[in-house]
């Protein structure tokens, strides 16, 4: 069994988070050294990732400002490195992986020499720009004593089932393809004996990529009935409650939903945000719906700032009070915007009056599903353009 000392610092950081163990920046290799400000730490290889984890709950503007401030402090302290300002999706994906909510990340790749990622104590490297160390590291603090490291180097390394079965290098079994061809041809129907028609026998098939999560944009307007504070309760649980006017710094939430037309067996995770300030151009290909109050200033910084252009590329959704007329703008945008209404809020204890909420939620999800199907969402891939 590989010891914890043989693991990469990024793996150790994730394990420390899972076990609620302390990981502290230090200016000394001494295990008893006190904690120092991040700008003064000299024994933390994962500064950018550690910084992103510490600021996982703050809003994007505050996160950017903190990163700028820390880089100024690093420059003042004479440090050569800088904290990389991670993008919105990169930061979200990294935090989800560190928390243990996901076992894979498109931004974290195995180190050279362990491409299959299956060996015990596999080391991983972050694409986000943080330097990953393969040195014998403690949990975010210092390197191993050289004398102890020499003892570990003299140990006899025990193999695991992967090295016993496969060896230290991947084996190319492509020659078996030629041996299997006659048997496949005999069992195939006439006219279908071409081995290239069977993708399972393709030579060096391209490894599947992780499908991005679809994105739903909420309106940041204070008059919107649906905000980050109540969207999950409404869209996932089918119950409407007024949005809370709290001091929460949350910038996104997740909603799980099975979309039968895309993947009938596995729930899809939707990312809900109220703005597109941190979007990269390709993120717009993942937008499946835009909630609106009819106020056009919401679209000012969107890829398509004109509402008519926007709703030609994605679905618009308006949620108002049942019985009220939707705004003129919403009516003018026509069938490209789904107009719905929920019963007025009568206060806690009147749950019996909320029975229509699930009906509205199902109507919304059916429209989102139809839009995703028409835009090319598949079980294993997202559209490359919308």
Reported as a single tens digit per residue, the pLDDT across 317-339 is 999 999 999 999 999 998 889 99
pLDDT at 285 (0 to 100): 92
pLDDT at 91 (0 to 100): 78
Whether residue 126 has pLDDT greater than 50: no
pLDDT at 203 (0 to 100): 46
Lowest-pLDDT range, 106-120, 165-179, 278-292? 106-120
What average pLDDT does range 127-147 have in this prediction? 42
pLDDT at 258 (0 to 100): 92
Q: How many Å apart are CA 104 and CA 92, to the nearest integer?
A: 13
Reported as a single tens digit per residue, the pLDDT across 172-203 is 667 777 777 777 766 555 544 444 444 444 44
CA geometry: angle 12, 18, 22, nearest 5 deg:
65
Give the list of residues 6+ apart from residue 23 with CB closer than 8 angstroms, or none: 13, 16, 50, 139, 140, 141
pLDDT level of residue 134 (50, 70, 90 thresholds): very low
For each of the domains in the chain, give its residue range(s) and CATH number, in order of start: 4-153 (no CATH), 215-375 (3.40.50.11990)
* φ/ψ (deg, to 5) at 320: -125, -165
Q: Cα dist. 319→184, 235, 240, 273, 293 in Å?
A: 57, 12, 11, 16, 7
pLDDT at 57 (0 to 100): 78
* Residue that wins the pLDDT comparison between 50 and 169: 50
What average pLDDT does range 136-151 have in this prediction? 53
pLDDT at 193 (0 to 100): 44
pLDDT at 129 (0 to 100): 34
What average pLDDT does range 204-212 have in this prediction? 63
Q: How many Å apart are CA 269 and CA 215, to the nearest integer?
A: 9
pLDDT at 350 (0 to 100): 64
Q: What proportion of the chain, given as a percentage, has pLDDT over 70?
A: 71
pLDDT at 295 (0 to 100): 93
Reported as a single tens digit per residue, the pLDDT across 20-69 is 777 777 777 776 777 777 777 776 677 888 888 888 877 777 888 888 88
Reported as a single tens digit per residue, the pLDDT across 342-364 is 998 887 766 666 888 999 999 99
Reported as a single tens digit per residue, the pLDDT across 251-276 is 889 999 999 999 998 899 999 998 88
Reading the block at residue 301, the tokens are 């910084």
Q: Over 97-148, what HEC string results?
A: HHCCCCCCCCCEEECCCCCCCCCCCCCEEECCCCCCCCCCECCCCCECCHHH
Q: How many Å apart are CA 39 and CA 72, to the nearest integer?
A: 9
Whether residue 163 has pLDDT greater than 90: no
pLDDT at 83 (0 to 100): 81
Whether residue 75 has pLDDT greater than 50: yes
Q: By C-alpha distance, which of 60, 56, 380 is closest to 212?
A: 380
Radius of gyration of the chain from its Cα atoms, rounded to whole angstroms: 26
Sign for the CA dihedral angle at 178, 181, 183, 184 comes to: positive
The CA dihedral of 379, 384, 385, 386, to the nearest 10 degrees, is 10
Reported as a single tens digit per residue, the pLDDT across 279-289 is 888 899 999 99
The per-residue pLDDT of the chain, averaged, comes to 76
Whether residue 218 has pLDDT greater than 80: yes
| pTM for this predicted structure | 0.49
């Amino acid at each position: 069994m590989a010891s914890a000392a043989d693991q990469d610092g990024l793996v150790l950081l994730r394990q420390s988070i899972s076990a609620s163990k302390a990981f502290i920046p230090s200016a000394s290799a001494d295990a008893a050294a006190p904690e120092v400000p991040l700008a003064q730490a000299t024994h933390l290889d994962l500064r950018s990732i550690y910084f992103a984890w510490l600021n996982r709950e703050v809003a994007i503007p505050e996160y950017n400002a903190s990163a700028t401030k820390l880089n100024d402090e690093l420059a003042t302290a004479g440090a050569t490195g800088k904290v990389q300002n991670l993008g919105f999706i990169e930061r979200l994906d990294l935090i989800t992986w560190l928390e243990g909510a996901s076992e894979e990340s498109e931004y974290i790749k195995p180190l050279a020499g362990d491409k299959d990622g299956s060996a015990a104590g596999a080391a991983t490297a972050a694409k986000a720009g943080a330097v990953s160390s393969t040195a014998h590291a403690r949990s975010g603090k210092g390197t191993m004593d050289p004398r102890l490291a020499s003892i570990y180097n003299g140990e006899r390394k025990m193999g695991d089932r992967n090295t016993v079965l496969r060896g230290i290098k991947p084996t190319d079994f492509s020659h078996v393809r030629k041996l299997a061809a006659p048997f496949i041809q005999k069992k195939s129907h006439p006219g279908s004996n071409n081995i290239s028609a069977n993708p399972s026998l393709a030579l060096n098939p391209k490894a599947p990529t992780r499908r991005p999560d679809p994105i739903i944009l909420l309106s940041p307007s204070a008059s919107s009935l649906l905000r980050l504070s109540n969207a999950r309760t409404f869209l996932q649980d089918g119950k409407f409650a007024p949005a809370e006017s709290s001091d929460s710094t949350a910038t996104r939430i997740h909603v799980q939903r099975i979309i039968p037309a895309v993947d009938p067996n596995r729930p899809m995770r939707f990312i809900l945000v109220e703005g597109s300030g941190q979007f990269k151009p390709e993120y717009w290909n993942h937008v499946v719906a835009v909630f609106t109050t009819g106020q056009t200033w919401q679209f000012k910084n969107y890829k398509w700032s004109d509402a008519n252009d926007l709703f030609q590329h994605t679905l618009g959704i308006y949620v108002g009070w049942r019985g009220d007329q939707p705004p003129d703008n919403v009516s003018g945008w026509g069938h490209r915007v789904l107009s719905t209404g929920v019963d007025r809020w009568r206060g806690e204890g009147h749950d019996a009056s909320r029975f229509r909420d699930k009906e509205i939620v199902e109507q919304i999800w059916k429209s989102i599903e139809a839009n995703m199907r028409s835009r090319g969402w598949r079980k294993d891939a997202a559209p490359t353009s919308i």
